[in-house]
Structure 1
Amino acid sequence: MDVVPDKRERIIAAASRLIVRNGLQCSMAAIAEEAGVATGSLYNYFESKEALVRGVYGRMAEQMTERLSVPPDPAKTPAERVRHYIAEYVDFIWIDPQRARLFDYLENNPLITLADAKDIFGAFVDYAIDMISDGQAAGDIRAGSPTMLASFMRGAIRNALKRRRYNPAPLSDEERTLVADMCWKAMVSERI
Structure 2
Amino acid sequence: MRDKILEATAAMLVEHGTQASMARIASRAGVATGSLYNHFENKDVLIRAVYDNLARVVEENLVVGDDPETDAPDRLARYIDNQISFFWAEPEQASLFEYLSNVPLLPAEEVLSSFERTSQFIRDLLIELQADGWLIEGDVSVMGGFIGGAIRNTLKWQRTLGAELTDAKRDQLREMCLKALRRDQ
Instruction: Please indicate the TM-score interval, normalised by the length of the shorter structure.
Output: over 0.9
Q: Could you report, residue by residue, the CA deviation over 1:63-98 in whole angstroms, capped at 9, with x for unpaired residues?
A: 111122247424421111111111111111111111
TM-score by length of 2: 0.94
- Answer yes or no: is the 8 Å Cα contact 1:78–1:138 preserved in 2: no
Deviating beyond 6 angstroms after TM superposition, the runs of 4 or more aligned structure 1 residues are: none
Say which of 28, 42, 49 aligns to 1:48: 42
Q: 1:118 offset after TM fit, Å?
A: 2.2
Q: 1:29 to 1:133 in 2, by over 3 A?
A: same
Root-mean-square deviation over aligned CA pairs: 1.5
Partners in 2 of 1:132 and 1:103 — Cα distance?
22
Q: How far did 1:163 drift? A: 0.9
Q: Is the 8 A contact 1:157 1:179 kept in 2?
A: yes
Q: Give the deviation of 1:53 after TM superposition.
A: 1.1
Gaps of 5+ in 1: 1-6
Paired AA for residue 54 in structure 2 = M
- Which is further off, 92-101 or 42-51? 42-51
1:58 matched residue in structure 2: 52
Aligned to 1:15: 9
Q: Distance in 2 between matches of 1:96 and 1:74?
A: 26
Normalised to the residue count of structure 1, the TM-score between the two structures is 0.91
- Report whether the alignment pairs 1:119 with 2:119: no
Asked whether 1:76 is paired with 2:70, we answer yes
- 1:3 maps to none
DSSP-derived class of the 2:160 partner: coil
CA distance in 2, matches of 1:50, 1:74: 37
Calculate percent identity across the aligned residue pairs.
38
- 2: CA distance, partners of 1:38 / 1:63: 26
Q: Match of 1:110?
A: 104
Deviation at 1:101, TM superposition (A): 0.7
Structure 2 distance, partners of 1:129, 1:160, is: 22
Is the contact made by 1:32 and 1:42 (CA closer than 8 Å) also made in structure 2? Answer: yes
User: Match for 1:99 among 93, 98, 105?
Assistant: 93
Aligned partner of 1:29 in structure 2 is: 23
Count of aligned positions: 185
Q: How far apart, CA to CA, are the structure 1 residues paired with 2:170 and 2:181? A: 17
CA displacement at 1:111 relative to structure 2: 0.5
Partner AA of 2:131 in structure 1: A
Cα distance in 1 for partners of 2:168, 2:179 equals 16
Looking at structure 1, the residues matched to 17 and 158 of structure 2 have their Cα atoms a distance apart, in angstroms, of 22
In structure 1, the partner of 2:149 is 155
After TM superposition, the structure 1 = structure 2 runs for residues 159-178 of structure 1, keeping only pairs within 5 Å, are 159-178=153-172
